């Protein structure tokens, strides 16, 4: 595989400048120097400059012509990807007055490394009738080639680093695949269109487009139709195998355990685009592969390693000889905290969700993200880490912290009324709110049955800065230190009274991701602010971030998060446990593995009447905190809670 023109990112030898200088030098030709007093050094310098400029037309040669040498230089340059040699004079020997031997160093900058293909040649000069000429010009620039050989440059792909999971379990690693397609040498030309269409039909791709690709390829080409993981798609492969000319080429590609495993998080590796080639400064060429999305793209420099380069002497027949090689340097593994068992289970639990959905699981003790699963309804988007949604009533955990910080306790009485009006806007409880839980009730009862009006009634007790600070204490809106692209939430300050009232119940302009929601639960479990992490190998070096969408009427507060106290953490745990034991989340009451603490949420969105709703739950059990989100669902206790219950139940087995 030839490297593209301009593939070297480093140029120590200014070839363009040499080309300009040589035009002047060549005007005098080699006859400018004779034995009667003038040194041979200027003669040698002119020759070196001409070779560097790939223009020896005006250099006198014996036995060949300058034009022939220029043609040879052009051919060798093309064979090495269009680069020019940098030729310098090493020394000049004068055996007698009519002869000189010029040792030339030839340097080809074949790749972006500091190690060039360098060798020394000797130009033999003879003086006759006052003019110097080169007597061994034929093959001077590449004396190592045998008759009939040509140069070739091959890129040697490095071994790509793996993406590892918990306990350094390989998640994305080289796995066997087969490239299935048509080998044009194995089917007569008249039958190639039919064969291409038959293969395309067998594997389910566009027959006309594939037939056109086969027709356009060279006569010796293998034209890939599709790539399968080895051991999969047996029926399609059998159907294709019955077509004359269809072949399978075994290979290995960096793949996760399954096609869906954390795909939106891990990303993919595939052929580089034309835009990537154009913007790479020679790093990529057509046919190369690279990380295209997710962690694979973000950590491309670390995972990809450094390609090797090999200069070959290729004969008309037989095996090529290696003249020079820069060996490929393997990529470095990237370590993550993903637990394959938890991730696989989370994806299975979301498999039947048609709307966008996500399940994130975090270890409170360490902040490690052990699962970041997206359901099929997310259509490849990383809802788990990047989704930005109103949290609804799960945010009442943060609001409760704000209330506790005013001196309240879980037993403090708050007014739960059928409705409440703030600055002209009326808020109500969700339809079907139990009448038995209305009136002056303990804060514990208000959160158990998710009384909207009780929390909104505290809007003048907990101002917007206090609410933002409380949310920050639970990890919402904090800097992203996951080592991946992630959104940790946004809680506005400086908003109107009605917007602040809406914020108290997780509506209005409050936004969280499923990751931010899980971090809230993890912080309550640990009793201190949890900083979630996904990439555990030096994440700080390349942390990516995502920002909340700009709001014309609100800006994120710069109020720092206040550390949780022991009493505050205990109060929040009491409230979240009451949600489970008090009847709010029946699916979590009897799961094995110990006590579960939770809060459900239903967030209204859109302009429909009645509004559509997001379904949420945050929960923790032992050292595992989770958030389950379904973009369009019923009450959190109905849609999301059963998914969390199944997760805890399966993990307890």
What is the mean predicted confidence (pLDDT) over 244-248?
A: 97
CATH number of the domain encompassing residue 181:
3.90.1310
Residue 547: exposed, middle, or buried by beta-carbon count in 10 A (0-12, 13-18, 19+)? exposed
Distance, CA of 330 to CA of 310 (rounded, Å) = 16
In the block, which residue shows the tokens 């993903």?
Answer: 338
494 and 440 in one domain?
yes
* Six token digits for residue 487: 């959104």
pLDDT at 125: 95
CA angle 59, 62, 67 (to 5 degrees): 45
**Residue 583: pLDDT band by 50, 70, 90 thresholds?**
confident
pLDDT at 26: 40
- Which positions ≥6 away from 7 have C-beta within 8 Å? 81, 83, 111, 112, 282, 285
Q: What is the maximal distance between C-alpha atoms in the chain?
A: 120
In a domain, 636, yes or no: no
Phi-psi region of 627 (alpha: psi -120 to 50; beta: other; left: phi over 0): beta
Give DSSP secondary structure letters for 160-210: PPPEE-GGG-EEEEEEEEEEEEEEGGGS-GGGHHHHHHHHHHHHTS-HHHH
What is the mean predicted confidence (pLDDT) over 341-360?
A: 97
Radius of gyration of the chain from its Cα atoms, rounded to whole angstroms = 35
pLDDT surpassing 90 at residue 281? no
65 and 109 in one domain?
yes
In a domain, 157, yes or no: no
**Residue 326: pLDDT band by 50, 70, 90 thresholds?**
very high
DSSP 280: T
pLDDT at 605: 84
* Three-state SS sequence of 583-607: CCCHHHCCCCCCCCEEEEEEEEECC
pLDDT surpassing 60 at residue 24? no
The pLDDT tens digits of the residues spanning 585-601 come to 889 999 999 999 999 99
In a domain, 299, yes or no: yes
pLDDT surpassing 80 at residue 626? yes
394 and 511 in one domain?
yes
- Domains held by the chain: number: 3
Q: How many CB atoms lie within 10 A of CB 234?
A: 9
β-bridge pairing 269-271 and 492-493: unpaired
pLDDT at 538: 59
- Phi and psi at residue 419, in whole multiples of 5°? -155, 165
pLDDT surpassing 80 at residue 162? yes
Is the CA virtual torsion 247, 252, 256, 257 positive or negative?
A: positive
The pLDDT tens digits of the residues spanning 59-99 come to 999 999 999 999 999 999 999 989 999 999 999 998 888 89
- Establish how many alpha carbons lie within 13 A of residue 211's alpha carbon, considering only the half-sphere containing its beta carbon: 14
* Six token digits for residue 529: 């602010």
Distance, CA of 31 to CA of 59 (rounded, Å) = 10
pLDDT at 130: 83
In a domain, 217, yes or no: yes
438 and 344 in one domain?
yes
pLDDT at 560: 56
Residue with the bigger pLDDT between 338 and 280: it is 338
300 and 284 in one domain?
yes
pLDDT surpassing 60 at residue 15? no
Distance, CA of 230 to CA of 232 (rounded, Å) = 6
- Which positions ≥6 away from 142 have C-beta within 8 Å? 76, 151
Domain boundary among 312, 334, 356: 334
241 and 113 in one domain?
no
In a domain, 476, yes or no: yes
pLDDT surpassing 80 at residue 316? yes
* Six token digits for residue 382: 């990383």
The pLDDT tens digits of the residues spanning 44-67 come to 999 999 999 999 999 999 999 999
pLDDT at 542: 41
Residue (of 598, 623, 602, 622) closest to 613 by Cα position: 602
Residue 159: exposed, middle, or buried by beta-carbon count in 10 A (0-12, 13-18, 19+)? middle
Distance, CA of 14 to CA of 251 (rounded, Å) = 41
What is the mean predicted confidence (pLDDT) over 542-547?
A: 41
What is the mean predicted confidence (pLDDT) over 317-331?
A: 95
CATH number of the domain encompassing residue 602:
3.40.710.10
Domain boundary among 334, 360, 375: 334
In a domain, 7, yes or no: no
Is the CA virtual torsion 453, 422, 398, 652 positive or negative?
A: positive
DSSP 540: G
In the block, which residue shows the tokens 């093959």?
Answer: 139
Q: Which domain holds residue 554?
A: 340-630+644-651
The pLDDT tens digits of the residues spanning 284-305 come to 877 788 999 999 999 999 999 9
pLDDT surpassing 60 at residue 11? no
pLDDT surpassing 70 at residue 561? no
356 and 328 in one domain?
no
pTM greater than 0.75? yes
The pLDDT tens digits of the residues spanning 186-228 come to 999 999 999 999 999 999 999 999 999 999 999 999 999 999 9
pLDDT surpassing 90 at residue 279? no
172 and 49 in one domain?
no
Peptide bond into 610 cis (omega under 30): yes
pLDDT at 113: 87
- Which positions ≥6 away from 587 have C-beta within 8 Å? 637, 641, 642, 644, 645
What is the mean predicted confidence (pLDDT) over 271-275?
A: 88
443 and 581 in one domain?
yes
Domain boundary among 278, 312, 334: 334
In a domain, 190, yes or no: yes
447 and 592 in one domain?
yes
Residue with the bigger pLDDT between 551 and 102: it is 102
* Six token digits for residue 619: 């929960």
What rounded mean pLDDT belongs to the chain? 89
**Residue 271: pLDDT band by 50, 70, 90 thresholds?**
confident
211 and 356 in one domain?
no
393 and 446 in one domain?
yes
In a domain, 420, yes or no: yes
């Amino acid at each position: 595989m030839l490297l593209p023109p301009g593939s070297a990112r480093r140029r120590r030898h200014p070839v363009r400048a040499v080309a300009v200088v040589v035009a002047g030098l060549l005007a005098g030709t080699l006859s400018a120097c004779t034995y009667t007093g003038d040194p041979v050094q200027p003669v040698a310098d002119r020759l070196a400059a001409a070779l560097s400029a790939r223009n020896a037309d005006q250099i006198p040669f014996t036995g060949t012509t300058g034009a022939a040498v220029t043609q040879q230089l052009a051919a060798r340059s093309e064979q090495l990807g269009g680069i020019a040699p940098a030729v310098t004079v090493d020394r000049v020997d004068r055996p007698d007055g009519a002869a000189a031997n010029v040792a030339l160093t030839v340097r080809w900058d074949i790749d972006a490394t500091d190690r060039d293909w360098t060798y020394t040649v000797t130009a033999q000069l003879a003086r006759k009738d006052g003019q110097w000429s080169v007597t061994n010009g034929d093959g001077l620039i590449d004396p190592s080639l045998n008759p009939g050989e040509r140069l070739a440059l091959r890129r040697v792909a490095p071994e790509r680093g793996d993406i590892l999971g918990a306990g350094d379990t390989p998640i994305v690693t080289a796995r066997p695949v087969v490239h299935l397609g048509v080998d044009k040498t194995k089917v007569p030309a008249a039958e190639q269109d039919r064969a291409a269409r038959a293969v395309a039909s067998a594997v389910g791709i566009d027959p006309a487009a594939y037939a056109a690709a086969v027709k356009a390829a060279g006569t010796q080409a293998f034209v890939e139709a599709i790539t399968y993981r080895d051991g999969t798609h047996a029926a399609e492969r059998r159907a294709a195998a019955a077509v004359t000319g269809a072949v399978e080429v075994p290979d290995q590609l960096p793949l996760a355990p399954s096609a869906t495993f954390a795909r939106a998080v891990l990303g993919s590796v595939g052929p580089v685009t034309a835009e990537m080639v154009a913007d790479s400064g020679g790093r990529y060429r057509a046919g190369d592969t690279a990380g295209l999305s997710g962690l694979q793209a973000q950590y491309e420099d670390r995972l990809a390693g450094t390609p090797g380069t090999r200069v070959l002497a290729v004969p008309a027949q037989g095996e090529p000889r290696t003249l020079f090689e820069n060996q490929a340097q393997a990529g470095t593994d990237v370590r993550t905290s993903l637990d394959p068992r938890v991730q696989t289970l989370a994806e299975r639990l979301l498999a039947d969700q048609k709307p966008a959905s996500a399940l994130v699981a975090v270890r409170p003790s360490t902040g490690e993200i052990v699962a970041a699963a997206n359901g099929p309804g997310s259509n490849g988007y990383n809802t788990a880490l990047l989704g930005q949604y109103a949290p609804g009533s799960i945010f009442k955990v943060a609001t409760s912290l704000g209330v506790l910080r005013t001196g309240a306790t879980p037993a403090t009485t708050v007014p739960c009324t059928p409705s409440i009006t703030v600055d002209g806007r009326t808020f109500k409880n969700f339809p079907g709110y139990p009448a038995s839980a209305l009136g002056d009730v303990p804060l514990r009862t208000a959160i158990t049955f998710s009384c909207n009006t009780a929390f909104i009634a505290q809007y003048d007790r907990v101002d917007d800065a206090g609410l933002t600070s409380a949310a920050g204490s639970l990890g919402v809106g904090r800097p992203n230190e996951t080592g991946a692209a992630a959104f940790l939430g946004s809680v506005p300050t400086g908003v109107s009274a009605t917007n602040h009232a809406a914020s108290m119940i997780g509506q209005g302009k409050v936004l969280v991701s499923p990751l931010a929601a899980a971090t809230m639960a993890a912080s309550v479990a640990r009793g201190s602010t949890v900083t979630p992490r996904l990439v555990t190998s030096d994440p700080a070096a390349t942390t990516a971030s995502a920002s909340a969408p700009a709001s014309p009427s609100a800006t994120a507060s710069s109020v720092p998060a206040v550390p949780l106290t022991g009493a505050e953490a205990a109060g929040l745990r009491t409230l979240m446990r009451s949600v489970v034991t008090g009847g709010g989340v029946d699916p979590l009451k009897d799961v094995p593995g110990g006590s579960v603490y939770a809060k459900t949420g239903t967030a209204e969105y859109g302009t429909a009447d009645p509004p559509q709703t997001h379904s949420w739950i945050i929960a923790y059990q032992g050292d595992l905190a989770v958030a389950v989100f379904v973009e369009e669902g019923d009450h959190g206790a109905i849609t999301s809670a059963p998914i969390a219950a199944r997760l805890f139940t399966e993990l307890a087995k």
